[in-house]
Chain A
């Protein structure tokens, strides 16, 4: 690989783009192929395959051996609501290798003091998500149970195809939320993707335990997702 190729690869990874690197094992030549870039012929089909599976491997094409390596963006968690559960989740997520960012327009909650060293923005989700859009490698966790704050990002996460969408709230709260999301144009199968009540059922009682249940559910969604359909 040449240094300019490595730089291109690292730039694409930093921009949260999926990238395939095709190495010709006979002559060592390399092609950097970011997602969305058209690749001709049988190589294109194999590239599409590894982008879907996320699994690197060697392939034979027209009598030549290639190694196709694939780099998917690291999973990220965006939390709507700087609440007590979020304080625990912000500590657990990096241990599991997940980036985490918090959005909450309520300045009393979204303070540096409560979230030292964490990426936190005290602003409305609709404004923040314009600058930092969601993507398929993002988990959206909405924990304010305030429709004014939670509904927009939940709807955006369903439209974007975030690999995980979770919302805190009792069954009653969620039933009302379902009605509002229907009015926003989401159908039943989309709304069914929302994890509610949020978190794996481990009998979590404290904010920290609920955070753990949420993180475990995110890991489950990420590892068991079907990259073909994005579900």
Chain B
């Protein structure tokens, strides 16, 4: 009676990588104000843009996926900042008014 394994992004990441796919792991490392997912939450992305998990309530996942594809290409980790103070707020802000920092790394 456990949750389906596919709902566990870290297991998905392991399976994808072992199947030979390129994988990036995004992790919420800091939150301010009201943020939908707490620090430590994961979103896993493959080279084709498939994803599992979440770092917000669906507000910034699109932008994180785009950045993740870049991280997969370059192999260089990135720290992303989302929130109302950010100039990208109009495009990919957090409607809840909070702010989050997301670390994106390539699984090697």
Contacts and interface: CB of A to CB of B under 8 A. Distances in A.
A100 B108 contact: no
Contacts of B1: 90, 93-94, 99-100, 117-119
A42 interface: no
Residue among A2, A56, A70, A117 with most chain B CB within 10 A: A56
B17 A3 contact: yes
Interface residues of B, number: 22
Interface string B1-32: 11100000011011001100000010101100
Contacts of A55: 38-40
Contacts of A13: 10
Contact of A6 (B2, B39, B103, B107): B107
B25 A67 contact: no
A28 B77 contact: yes
Contacts of B46: none
B81 to A, nearest CB: 13
A61 to B, nearest CB: 15
B38 to A, nearest CB: 7
B39 A1 contact: no
Contact of A25 (B13, B25, B103, B107): B103
B40 A3 contact: no
B79 A25 contact: yes
A90 B1 CA distance: 9
Interface string A77-118: 000000000000010011001011000000000000000011
A185 to B, nearest CB: 34
B27 A9 contact: no
Interface string A6-40: 11011001000000000101001000000000000
A57 interface: yes
A129 interface: no
B13 A6 contact: yes
Contacts of B107: 1-3, 6
Contact of B14 (A3, A58, A94): A3
Contacts of A23: 27, 103, 105
A221 interface: no
Interface string A172-206: 00000000000000000000000000000000000
Given A25-B79, A25-B103, A70-B40, A6 B14 contact: yes
Contact of A97 (B3, B30, B38): B3
A117 B17 CA distance: 31
B23 to A, nearest CB: 9
Interface of B: 1-3, 10-11, 13-14, 17-18, 25, 27, 29-30, 38-40, 77, 79, 103, 105, 107-108
The 4 closest A-B pairs by CB, nearest first: A56-B40, A56-B39, A69-B40, A67-B29
27 contacts: A1-B105, A1-B107, A3-B107, A6-B13, A6-B17, A6-B107, A10-B14, A23-B27, A23-B103, A28-B105, A55-B38, A55-B39, A55-B40, A56-B29, A56-B40, A58-B29, A58-B30, A58-B39, A69-B27, A69-B39, A90-B1, A93-B1, A94-B3, A97-B3, A99-B2, A100-B1, A119-B1
